[in-house]
């Protein structure tokens, strides 16, 4: 059995020894492109003077926003939608005259090297017409605000509602206690190690782009759209990736990179962002503001729930309201109510950095809102926070009204029970009551639910190809992508198990090349192990049937009697060896009589989804004077169904917890009054370093999901959902101070506690 084993990553050797090739490693000699970024947040480019810049030695080409094709395109890496009304918003060109972001792309320089390109950028003179920057959603929706995009009144990108039951009459019941509060979350960034990088060149009439992307097939479509090219004339190659976390589920600079090569006769051009550009001009996690109102009956059962979400989109639509919508539905799902649910969600343009896909896609915000709110209600009603959650959380009979989405298996209760025991909840809740002094401790928890993939909200399609080699090993090609998360390793394990081979005899082709790779949507929505797993299982079945058919021809044994185990074709009734696969495969390649290449390829269109669950339990120590939050102990307990590889799953959990720790206590993108990002570098954008990072603990409840190809459910993104609210709730327990906005940074905490300590004295 390969599935369930903690085998080493299949790419470990290459990555540890430095032989694994990333985009930049593959580039070789190329021209260098650099982008000129606007130095205003809202306005218009009136003129660009390139006369001095073009004289600089080594400059090959300068392209301005006045010279690009008049084609608007959408950047979100969603599956293409055939129905007219549901297409992604197309709101930008390769370079833009209308400036909506401090850092907007207004010109590009191509030069023989970086120094020449940078010198040219400095020499370009730009004249702007400047408008007042729009820095908040409230400002954006006011009558006075300039309209950033045509057709979007009050700068509202989209508004949607979600209603269940009869909220309006239920909320009038006189036996309810109503709880209202506001909660907010901040803008943060993915901070993947490898910045956005690509290079492009032409092969005849076709454009080739080698890019650091999570979604090569989607990139082909969007580049085609952005450049007005037939999609078949675009070829995308995706090598190893230095992380994406959703930022590379957006099409950023690749169309511009391709266009620069095309206007230079197909010469190879490289476009690599700096970290500062990545911060300023790529994507981020949406900052959201929540208004919450909940009615609870005397028994502590939720009766009515209302939520208003205002999501700060920033300058361009990107994934836009899809993220806000996912936030809303997730908020509706994790708890149930006996009366009614009402949700209203706005996504609002502004002149801030663009919100896009980021690990867990709106769910960290939803969980922060719901877990803060549940903590408040439990506290005010004097109910233990765990008991309160158990009474109201999603159960196995959940079905989403009007959608083909339901719970198929849940270990959420077990997650809570295990976490509670691990952290020694009852003892510590009592022990840390009524503390005084500078150092105070507390424990907190938070829970979540998470879909697996995008069905029924979007398409779920995945392709897989397997070819048998002469020695009986198998080449495995997936449209689904390795982006550092370990996909290639679990694909290898699933393929080995489904075919009946040892993992060492499955060779996965890591690189996706849209000319040869099977079609798949790519890495997002924690979908791949579930969706691509089904493609692997189906394709392995086809390959096995072909192997058995060949064996029947070769040996005369009926195919239906055969099984393939550990590389041997055996009799499935008595386990006796029928043929060694190596012998059979060699025969299949070279038999004068029967030779044929045994291969299988298939696609699944998955119309199914399932929920994974989990909980975080944490103990913190708070320094009331310095505003420090030190994590004493923390555990994530997950129900992600059957775990394919416990070792890589654990790495996923640790990475997700680390990301959420930063979200909880440090990270925040900060803008000045001009709309300029002021901490867009790794010194001033605070992420926890190794020194700041506690020991991570994790556990899996390992419950079989009936819909998962191997009993598995989503894991990659869910890991980063619950730690932040759990840490916040632990700080609440330790200090009695309810922080409803993220992050719980040292300044905010210290100054808040200072007032409280004064009050105490």
The footprint of other proteins (CB under 8 A) covers 113-115, 118-119, 122, 274, 625-626, 628, 666, 670, 672, 678-679, 682-684, 686-692, 745-747, 750-751, 754
Closest CA to 2 of 645, 562, 658: 645
**Tokens 């995706």 belong to which residue?**
238
Rounded Cα distance, 211 and 334, in Å: 37
Give me the residues paired with residue 211 across strands: 198
Encode 381-395: b = buried (16+ Cβ within 10 Å), e = exposed: eebebbebbbebbbe
State which residue, 320 or 680, has the beta carbon closest to other proteins. Answer: 680
* 3-class secondary structure per residue, 356-424: CCCCCCCHHHHHHHHHHHHHHHHHHHCCCHHHHHHHHECCCCCECCCCCCECCCCCHHHHHHHHHHHHC
Kindly state the smallest distance separating residue 690's Cβ from other proteins, in Å: 7
Q: Between β-strands 125-130 and 43-49, what pairing exists: parallel, antiparallel or unpaired? A: antiparallel
Kindly state the smallest distance separating residue 441's Cβ from other proteins, in Å: 16
253 contacts 213 by C-beta, under 8 angstroms: no
Kindly state the smallest distance separating residue 740's Cβ from other proteins, in Å: 20
Alpha helix ranges (H) inside 230-362? 254-263, 275-281, 320-334
Kindly state the smallest distance separating residue 48's Cβ from other proteins, in Å: 20
Within 10 angstroms of residue 323's Cβ, the number of other Cβ atoms is 28
**Tokens 């390793």 belong to which residue?**
489
State which residue, 119 or 206, has the beta carbon closest to other proteins. Answer: 119
Kindly state the smallest distance separating residue 400's Cβ from other proteins, in Å: 41
Within 10 angstroms of residue 85's Cβ, the number of other Cβ atoms is 5
Closest CA to 461 of 539, 542, 528: 528
Dmax over CA atoms of the chain, in Å, equals 95
Give me the residues paired with residue 615 across strands: 447, 637
Q: Is the dihedral of CA 117, 123, 128, 133 positive or negative?
A: positive
Kindly state the smallest distance separating residue 664's Cβ from other proteins, in Å: 13
For the chain, the distance separating the N- and C-terminal CA atoms, rounded to the nearest angstrom, is 64
State which residue, 206 or 275, has the beta carbon closest to other proteins. Answer: 275
Q: 3-state SS of the chain: helix, strand, coil percent to 5?
A: 30, 25, 40
State which residue, 516 or 678, has the beta carbon closest to other proteins. Answer: 678
State which residue, 274 or 582, has the beta carbon closest to other proteins. Answer: 274
Rounded Cα distance, 239 and 753, in Å: 49
State which residue, 322 or 668, has the beta carbon closest to other proteins. Answer: 668
C-alpha count within 13 angstroms, C-beta hemisphere, residue 375: 26
Kindly state the smallest distance separating residue 177's Cβ from other proteins, in Å: 37
State which residue, 372 or 624, has the beta carbon closest to other proteins. Answer: 624
**Tokens 């007219």 belong to which residue?**
84
**DSSP string for 478-503:** ESS--SSSSHHHHHHHHHHHHHT--G
Helix (H) or strand (E) holding 466: strand 461-468
State which residue, 353 or 533, has the beta carbon closest to other proteins. Answer: 353
Rounded Cα distance, 747 and 23, in Å: 40
φ, ψ (nearest 5 deg) of residue 14 = -65, -40
Closest CA to 135 of 85, 100, 107, 111: 100
State which residue, 250 or 667, has the beta carbon closest to other proteins. Answer: 667
Kindly state the smallest distance separating residue 121's Cβ from other proteins, in Å: 10
Instruction: Retrieve residue 537's tokens.
Output: 């299982």
Kindly state the smallest distance separating residue 331's Cβ from other proteins, in Å: 31
State which residue, 639 or 667, has the beta carbon closest to other proteins. Answer: 667
Rounded Cα distance, 118 and 473, in Å: 50
Q: Would you mind telling me the total number of residues written for the chain in this entry? A: 761
Kindly state the smallest distance separating residue 60's Cβ from other proteins, in Å: 16
State which residue, 115 or 595, has the beta carbon closest to other proteins. Answer: 115
Kindly state the smallest distance separating residue 625's Cβ from other proteins, in Å: 5
State which residue, 353 or 522, has the beta carbon closest to other proteins. Answer: 353
Kindly state the smallest distance separating residue 436's Cβ from other proteins, in Å: 15
State which residue, 84 or 761, has the beta carbon closest to other proteins. Answer: 761
State which residue, 321 or 440, has the beta carbon closest to other proteins. Answer: 440
Give me the residues paired with residue 571 across strands: 562
Kindly state the smallest distance separating residue 626's Cβ from other proteins, in Å: 7
Kindly state the smallest distance separating residue 359's Cβ from other proteins, in Å: 21
């Amino acid at each position: 059995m390969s599935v369930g084993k903690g085998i080493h990553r299949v790419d470990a050797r290459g990555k540890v020894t430095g032989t694994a090739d990333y985009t930049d490693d593959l580039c070789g000699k190329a021209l260098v492109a650099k982008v000129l970024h606007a130095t205003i947040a809202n306005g218009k480019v009136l003129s660009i003077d390139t006369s001095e810049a073009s004289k600089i030695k080594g400059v090959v080409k300068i392209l301005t926003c006045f010279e690009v094709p008049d084609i608007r395109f959408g950047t979100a890496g969603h599956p293409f939608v055939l129905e007219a009304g549901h297409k992604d918003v197309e709101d930008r060109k390769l370079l833009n005259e209308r400036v909506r972001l401090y850092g907007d792309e207004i010109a590009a320089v191509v030069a023989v090297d970086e120094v020449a390109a940078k010198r040219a950028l400095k020499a370009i003179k730009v004249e702007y017409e400047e408008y007042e920057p729009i820095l908040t959603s409230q400002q954006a929706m006011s009558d006075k605000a300039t309209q950033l995009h045509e057709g979007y009144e009050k700068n509202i990108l989209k508004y949607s509602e979600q209603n269940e039951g009869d909220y309006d009459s239920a909320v009038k019941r006189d036996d309810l206690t109503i709880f209202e509060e506001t909660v907010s979350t901040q803008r943060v960034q993915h901070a993947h190690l490898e910045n956005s990088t690509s290079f492009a060149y032409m092969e005849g009439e076709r454009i080739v782009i080698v890019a650091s992307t999570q979604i090569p097939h989607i990139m082909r479509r969007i580049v085609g759209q952005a450049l007005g090219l037939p999609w078949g004339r675009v070829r995308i190659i995706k090598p190893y990736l230095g992380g994406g976390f959703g930022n590379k589920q957006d099409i950023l600079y690749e169309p511009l990179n391709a266009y620069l090569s095309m206007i230079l006769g197909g010469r190879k051009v490289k476009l690599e962002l700096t970290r500062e550009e990545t911060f300023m001009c790529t994507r981020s996690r949406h900052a959201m503001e929540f208004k919450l109102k909940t009615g609870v009956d005397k028994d502590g059962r939720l009766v009515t729930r209302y939520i208003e979400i205002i999501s700060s989109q920033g300058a361009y639509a990107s994934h836009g309201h899809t993220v806000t919508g996912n936030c809303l539905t997730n908020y509706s799902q994790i708890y149930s109510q006996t009366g009614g649910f009402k949700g209203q969600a706005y996504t609002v343009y502004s002149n801030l950095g663009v919100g896009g896909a980021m690990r867990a896609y709106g769910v960290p915000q939803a969980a922060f809102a719901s877990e803060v709110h549940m903590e408040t209600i439990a506290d005010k009603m004097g109910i233990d926070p765990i008991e309160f959650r158990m009474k109201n959380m999603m159960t196995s009979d959940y079905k989403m009204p009007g959608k083909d989405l339901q719970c198929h298996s849940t270990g959420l209760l077990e997650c809570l029970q295990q976490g509670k025991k691990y952290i020694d909840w009852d003892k510590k809740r009592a022990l840390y009551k009524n503390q005084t002094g500078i150092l105070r401790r507390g424990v907190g928890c938070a829970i979540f639910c998470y879909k697996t993939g995008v069905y029924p909200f979007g398409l779920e399609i995945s392709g897989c190809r397997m070819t048998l080699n002469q020695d009986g090993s198998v080449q495995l090609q997936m449209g689904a992508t390795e982006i550092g998360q370990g996909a290639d390793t679990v694909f290898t394990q699933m393929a080995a198990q489904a075919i009946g081979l040892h993992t060492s005899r499955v060779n996965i082709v890591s690189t996706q090349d849209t000319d040869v790779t099977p079609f798949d949507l790519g890495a997002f929505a924690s979908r791949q192990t579930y969706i691509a797993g089904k493609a692997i299982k189906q394709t392995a079945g086809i390959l096995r049937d072909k192997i058995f058919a060949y064996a029947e021809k070769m040996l005369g044994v009926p195919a239906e009697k055969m099984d393939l185990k550990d590389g041997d074709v055996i009799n499935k009734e008595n386990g006796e060896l029928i043929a060694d696969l190596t012998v059979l495969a060699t025969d299949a390649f070279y038999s004068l009589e029967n030779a044929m290449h045994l291969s299988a390829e298939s696609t699944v269109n998955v119309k199914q989804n399932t929920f994974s669950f989990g909980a975080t339990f944490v103990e913190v120590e708070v320094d009331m004077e310095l505003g420090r939050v030190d994590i004493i102990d923390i555990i994530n307990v997950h129900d992600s169904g059957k775990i394919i590889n416990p070792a890589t799953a654990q790495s996923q959990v640790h990475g997700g917890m680390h990301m959420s720790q930063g979200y909880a206590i440090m990270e925040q993108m900060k803008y000045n009054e001009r709309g300029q990002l002021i901490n867009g570098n790794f010194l001033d954008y605070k992420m926890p370093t190794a020194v700041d990072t506690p020991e991570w603990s994790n556990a899996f409840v390992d419950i079989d999901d009936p819909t998962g190809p191997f009993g598995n459910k989503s894991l990659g993104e869910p890991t980063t959902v619950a730690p932040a609210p759990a840490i916040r709730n632990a700080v609440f327990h330790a200090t009695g101070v309810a922080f409803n906005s993220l992050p719980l940074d040292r300044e905010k905490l210290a100054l808040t506690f200072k007032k409280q300590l004064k009050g105490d004295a």
